Amino acid sequence: MAQIIDGKALAARLMEDTQQGVADIVAATGAPPGLAVVLVGADPASEVYVGRKISQCRKAGITSIEHRLPADTAETELLALIDRLNADPAIHGILVQLPLPKGLNAAAVLDRISPDKDVDGFHPVNVGRLSTGTGGLVPCTPLGIMMLLDSVIEDYRGLNAVVIGKSNIVGKPVSMLLLEREATVTVTHIETKDLPDVARKADIIVAAAGAPHLVRGYWVKPGAVVIDVGITRITDHDGVTKIVGDCATHELDHARAVTPVPGGVGPMTIACLLANTVKAAKMGLKR
């Protein structure tokens, strides 16, 4: 039977560290760290994500300031808001919830966030720091994935890691983090040939394709560690909506360890956002 890596429990432990970090910052400055959350438009999924992030901030003792803008907001107006947040000493982290409504250039908006307040780790400066192994703020989902892996793997050197999906928010950054630990990393995607054969050579599989139950039992070699990042909402024959991951977990008894969906990567992502906010605030103290 594969070990189930409990993302909720790990996220709860990280939350305790974050609360301690907040207490340290309050002791040093008299004020808690501040996270600005910018939501443009009223995408229902984004509303849910933003609501969760704000309630977790409250739990951690981080001040969250929400900025809700209408879907027809001009890009110049959004950029002006980011400029104000960049200059505000009470704000240590800035998060612009994606996707942005049509007509707004997400790359231009993310580029405008100060790299030192870029708690999502999407700014090109932080992407560069990650790929050169020179610190900076690391995207939350990949950071959480590494903590889940660290709970079962001590030494990555020479292990074969196969990452399924090459997005800028998951696949590419997690590949960089695995490479930094000296795993041998293969990044795969929709055009990869013979993906099951490639996956079967892996000691570590990180599945981030958004393709329900893509990774079948015969793709996974005995003893591999499997991280399931996928989140897809499906409605079954009885009209019940549920969330499924990228892995057919019920076929993975021969794996060494797997993450569940839900309760694996998901809770770690928000916990890492809060940890990044504390990290950004501490970096600010040193400047």
| Contact predicate 144/208, CB 8 Å | no
Q: Which is nearer to ligand NAD, 38 or 214 (CB)?
A: 214
| Contact predicate 36/67, CB 8 Å | yes
Residues in contact with ligand NAD, total (CB under 6 A)?
Answer: 23
Considering 53, 117, 172, 279, which one is annotated as catalytic?
53
Token pair for 206:
């990180």
Instruction: Select from 266, 271, 275, 277 the one that contacts ligand NAD (CB under 6 A).
Output: 266
Contact window for ligand NAD (CB under 6 A) among 17-25, 34-42, 202-210, 278-286: 202-210
Beta-strand relationship, 241-244 and 257-258: unpaired
Q: Is 53 a catalytic residue?
A: yes
- Cα 74 from chain centroid (whole Å): 28
Question: Cα Rg for the chain, rounded, in angstroms?
Answer: 19
**Residue 247 binding ligand NAD, by CB under 6 A:** no
Contact window for ligand NAD (CB under 6 A) among 93-101, 104-112, 127-135, 209-217: 209-217
Residues facing residue 172 across a β-bridge: none
Instruction: Select from 57, 119, 231, 247 the one that contacts ligand NAD (CB under 6 A).
Output: 231
d(CA 2, CA 204): 14
Q: Which is nearer to ligand NAD, 45 or 80 (CB)?
A: 45
**Residue 26 binding ligand NAD, by CB under 6 A:** no
Q: Which is nearer to ligand NAD, 172 or 256 (CB)?
A: 172
Instruction: Select from 230, 248, 256, 281 the one that contacts ligand NAD (CB under 6 A).
Output: 230
**Least distance from ligand NAD to the Cβ atom of residue 23, Å:** 27
Q: Is 253 a catalytic residue?
A: no
Give the three-class secondary structure for 50: helix
Kindly identify the residues of this chain, within the stretch 95-154, that bind ligand NAD according to CB under 6 A. Answer: 141
| Contact predicate 264/148, CB 8 Å | yes
Distance set, CA 2 to CA 38, 41, 221, 231 (Å): 40, 42, 12, 21
Secondary element (H or E) of residue 154:
none
**Residue 189 binding ligand NAD, by CB under 6 A:** yes
Sheet of 34-40: strands edge to edge? 63-69, 34-40, 93-96
Q: Is 120 a catalytic residue?
A: yes
Contact window for ligand NAD (CB under 6 A) among 119-127, 155-163, 227-235, 271-279: 227-235
| Contact predicate 166/137, CB 8 Å | no
Per CB under 6 A, residues contacting ligand NAD are 141, 164-167, 169-171, 189-190, 195, 208-211, 214, 229-232, 265-266, 269
| Catalytic residue positions, numbered | 53, 97, 120
